A and B are shown apart, each in its own frame.
Chain A
Amino acid sequence: MRYSLSSIIRNAASGHRHWPKVWRNPEPQKSYDVVIVGGGGHGLATAYYLARNHGITNVAVLEKGYLGNGNIGRNTTIVRSNYLCSENSQFYEHSLKLWEGLSADLNYNVMLSQRGALNVFHTPAQRDAAIRRGNAFSLNGIDSVLVSREEVKKLAPLVDCSPNARFPVLGGLLQPRGGSVRHDAVAWGFARAADTRGVDIIQNCEVTGFRIEKGRVRGVETSRGPIRANKVGIVVAGRSTLVARMAGLRLPIESHVLQCFVTEPVKPVLDTVVMFAAAHFSIVQSDKGGLVFNGDLDGYNSYAQRGNMPVMSGVAESAVSFMPRLSRLRLLRHWGGINDMTPDGSPFITRTPVKGLFFNGGWCYGGFKGTPASGWTFAHLIANDEPHPFAAGYTLSRFETGRVINENGAGPQPGKH
């Protein structure tokens, strides 16, 4: 059923008791044209665009747990496309354009709010870097505006712009089209739209192995029996190395935990996404009123989905030195998501040495904002066995060939990006 004003009125009249299930819950069939391993945001987006752009609907998405349990529900919901390296900027700009039309495309309100993403800077060196980045964005056709301290004050009155601030604010670089999206709605919206086009979404179905014959993938073994498919996509960020190892692949990825925090809800105090450059800290206010923070990785390999105290106190200190009025807010919840960290901070959307087996992962911090473009380009790769031009750089071989895409200029330690 299409969601519309008339469907709301009709269902309101019957007391909202007759809304149909948002997606089916089918039993797995014996074989599919394409199997997607991982029902996170990227896996669901891939299935949706396989059906929408390429007409491939005999597709199964296999999810170990339930939809929305992984990183699609564990991020800080920020979207923006202000990336410096050209491979990243074209990819994330495509993603932001898809975000802009996504609610209408999916017939599901993902609650995109383009409230602006503001990177505040504090030193002349940071200002020079921001100007350089801003010029690069403009050359790539990405909106960016250099703003003064007074404008920062106007955009985000919570920021301490006084000369007495611990890290005095000099100005900022704003991407007006950046903003936030309701993250759960992204999972549900893609799931519903894929399901409507005939994709089978199979929850509680763990992939336990791959069937590979003569260097070609023939299907997967799962906790609910074997499933045949000549094309399989792995999209399991956080556990990529473990799943890929079952297919005999070794990946340049380490798993690290990134913590997020949300305060008790307050009245609207912040209508912009703000990034603090004196430490690594970002803040956005959710529609429920909670202020959502995140900071650095904990910095060591982890599959624990929970973090440690030093990062928690560092994030709280950043929050208070940046926005002193937050000092009396209490943190309500905090959680950890497991990030695939790569040696250059950029992802993979690529073929593998096994024919018919494709890999999407290594999203570091950038996974949520990349969700639609990741699905779009990965579906293109699976359907045509040819990389999409916007994701052609995201190969596994780039470390051997030296064509790394290193946004931060940090070294090869995955935890440093």
Chain B
Amino acid sequence: MQIHCPWCGPRSLDEFEYGGDASKTRPSGKTQENMEAWVDYVFLHDNPAGRHREYWQHVGGCRSWLIVTRDTRTHEISKVELACASSRKGAK
């Protein structure tokens, strides 16, 4: 499996570290006041068999955090974006 890093080009899987499900949004507010949302954020993931948006970090390269869309049944990667660009888009 290779991941096409937007800065470094196609690189081997072992240069990357997995960062988990990227579909979650960190809840605001204190834990005690918002326990359910925090339990959901930390522990409950969709775990789909199919397309999955997930974080990867290019630790053996430019160290950028990426959001990769990958099919969990075939490992086919349909999209790679920079996590910072994606979060900027989200903030607008």
Question: For window 23-69 of chain B, which residues contact chain A by CB distance below 8 Å?
Answer: 35, 39, 42-47, 49, 52, 54
- Which listed segment binds B: A250-258, A270-278, A366-374, A377-385? A250-258
Instruction: Give the CA-CA distance A416 to B47 in the complex, in Å.
Output: 16
Does A251 lie within 8 Å of B1, measured CB to CB?
no
Instruction: Give the CA-CA distance A304 to B52 in the complex, in Å.
Output: 13
Does B20 lie within 8 Å of A304, measured CB to CB?
no
Instruction: Give the CA-CA distance A48 to B45 in the complex, in Å.
Output: 33
Whether A250 touches B18, Cβ cut-off 8 Å, given contacts A302-B75, A308-B13, A309-B13, is: no
Does A300 lie within 8 Å of B35, measured CB to CB?
no
Report the minimum CB–CB distance from A402 to chain B (whole Å).
Answer: 10
What DSSP secondary structure best describes chain B's contact surface? Answer: mixed
Whether A250 touches B44, Cβ cut-off 8 Å, given contacts A301-B54, A309-B13, A413-B20, is: yes
Whether A412 touches B47, Cβ cut-off 8 Å, given contacts A301-B54, A302-B72, A303-B73, is: no
How many chain-B residues does the 8 Å CB contact rule pick out?
A: 23
Does B52 lie within 8 Å of A301, measured CB to CB?
yes
Does B47 lie within 8 Å of A400, measured CB to CB?
no
Whether A415 touches B49, Cβ cut-off 8 Å, given contacts A304-B74, A343-B43, is: no
Residues of A within 8 A of B73 (CB): 303-304
Binary contact track A389-417/B, C-beta < 8 Å → 1, others 0: 00000000001100000000000110100
Residues of B within 8 A of A303 (CB): 49, 72-73
Residues of B within 8 A of A412 (CB): 42-43
Question: For window 222-270 of chain A, which residues contact chain B by CB distance below 8 Å?
Answer: 239, 241-242, 250-255
Whether A255 touches B72, Cβ cut-off 8 Å, given contacts A309-B13, A310-B13, A415-B20, is: yes
Binary contact track B71-92/A, C-beta < 8 Å → 1, others 0: 0111100000000000000000
Contact of A400 among B18, B20, B39, B72 (CB under 8 A): B39
Whether A242 touches B49, Cβ cut-off 8 Å, given contacts A251-B44, A303-B73, is: yes
Across the two chains, which residue of chain A brings its CB closest to B75?
Answer: A304
| A65 CB–B CB distance under 8 Å | no
Does B52 lie within 8 Å of A252, measured CB to CB?
no
Instruction: Give the CA-CA distance A251 to B43 in the complex, in Å.
Output: 8
Does B54 lie within 8 Å of A300, measured CB to CB?
yes
| A68 CB–B CB distance under 8 Å | no
Across the two chains, which residue of chain B brings its CB closest to A240?
Answer: B47
Whether A415 touches B18, Cβ cut-off 8 Å, given contacts A300-B54, A308-B75, A400-B39, is: yes
Report the minimum CB–CB distance from B92 to chain A (whole Å).
Answer: 29
Instruction: Give the CA-CA distance A147 to B48 in the complex, in Å.
Output: 45
Instruction: Give the CA-CA distance A309 to B39 in the complex, in Å.
Output: 34
Does B43 lie within 8 Å of A308, measured CB to CB?
no
| A299 CB–B CB distance under 8 Å | yes
Residues of B within 8 A of A309 (CB): 1, 13-14
Counting chain A CB atoms within 10 Å of each CB, the highest count among B35, B44, B74 belongs to B44
Residues of A within 8 A of B75 (CB): 302, 304, 308
Does A301 lie within 8 Å of B72, measured CB to CB?
yes
Instruction: Give the CA-CA distance A37 to B13 in the complex, in Å.
Output: 36
A-B residue pairs, 8 tightest by C-beta? A310-B14, A252-B43, A241-B47, A300-B18, A303-B49, A399-B43, A303-B73, A308-B1
Chain A to chain B contacts (Cβ below 8 Å), 24 pairs:
A241-B46, A242-B47, A250-B44, A251-B44, A252-B44, A252-B45, A253-B47, A254-B21, A254-B45, A254-B47, A300-B18, A300-B54, A301-B72, A302-B75, A303-B49, A304-B73, A308-B1, A308-B13, A310-B12, A310-B13, A343-B43, A400-B35, A400-B39, A412-B42
Besides A301-B72, A399-B39, 16 new A-B residue pairs in contact (Cβ under 8 A), listed by A number = A241-B46, A242-B49, A250-B44, A251-B44, A252-B43, A254-B47, A300-B54, A300-B70, A301-B21, A301-B47, A301-B52, A308-B13, A310-B12, A343-B42, A415-B18, A415-B20
Residues of chain B at the chain A interface (Cβ within 8 Å): 1, 12-14, 18, 20-21, 35, 39, 42-47, 49, 52, 54, 70, 72-75
